[in-house]
Copies of this chain bind each other. A is one copy, B any other.
């Protein structure tokens, strides 16, 4: 393919906080027993107790470095890819770096990329373009997300859907091996920009003028409109994506674990056989930008994705955006 590059996933790691069963949430918030599984498709997810975004991100990076057999001083850039944060300032990546055991002579850059749920996929695209075997040899992408502190107790559909967790991947320039970045495709449609939103806490509703209110300061989504937009735009998006990719060339698809209904869109398109799609919504919920990399990590570790498999990461995000990256693992 015209944009091919010699990029290899050298290693990955995850961090999951304490498991929370759906029954516990249903008890606590007086929901109908079984609502979570039936409505959201989630039996279990993980929620932080003492952890912050930086803590989880740093632990995931330690796992990824061990897995890759690399030290922090061999990393040129850390991209923190996600939507949630410990502090409004400084950025997540600086906080994460400060939670890592320092080695001598670090020559590292850090920055954050935010495309909400698609942040890991966007960062994969950016890292693939930046890796040149010279200035940038190894880049870590880390997605560490805490959704549990921004949920509205009066909205069972989001309350039962979201989970927390972190995943980190080392991407390396590797001129020798068979691993490859093939292509990335992203589209932002400005319709639906307010259909996934946290209204309060930024400059539109500053906290000094708008005291805490779950309606204003929690994540809110119009699930019905989002699904409608996804159904409308995904077919044309896939058509553009598949101009250079044969479906027969795809070994595994790692979709964003948006929701039960969101995953059903991909299943119901009728173009992918069901065993192409991997899933962990049932056991992890929607972990925002961390969903795709946690699922990718677990699929590699449990053998669902093997070396030389051609993998498609694909998802939707607030914005409204659709994005995908296609690569040979």
Interface residues, chain A, with chain B CB atoms under 8 Å away: 2-3, 48, 52-53, 78, 83-91, 93-95, 97-98, 100, 102, 107-116, 119, 122, 126, 129-130, 132, 134-136, 146, 149-150, 186-188, 190, 193-194, 196-204, 206-208, 211-212, 214, 217, 219, 317-321, 323
User: Which B residues are CB-close (under 8 A) to A194?
Assistant: 90
Knowing A130-B126, A188-B110, say if A90 contacts B319 (CB, 8 Å).
yes
The answer to whether A110 touches B319 (Cβ under 8 A) is yes
Copy count, this protein chain:
2
With both chains docked as a complex, state the minimum distance between the C-beta of A49 and any C-beta of chain B, in angstroms.
12
* Nearest-Cβ distance from residue A81 to partner chain B, whole angstroms: 9
B211 and A88 contacting across the interface, CB-CB below 8 Å: no
State whether A197 touches B130 (Cβ < 8 A): no
Query: Contact partner of A199 among B87, B197, B198, B323, CB < 8 A?
Result: B87
Please give the distance in Å from A109's CB to the nearest CB on chain B: 4
| 9 A-B residue pairs with CB within 8 Å | A83-B88, A86-B203, A87-B198, A91-B115, A94-B193, A94-B320, A108-B187, A109-B186, A112-B115
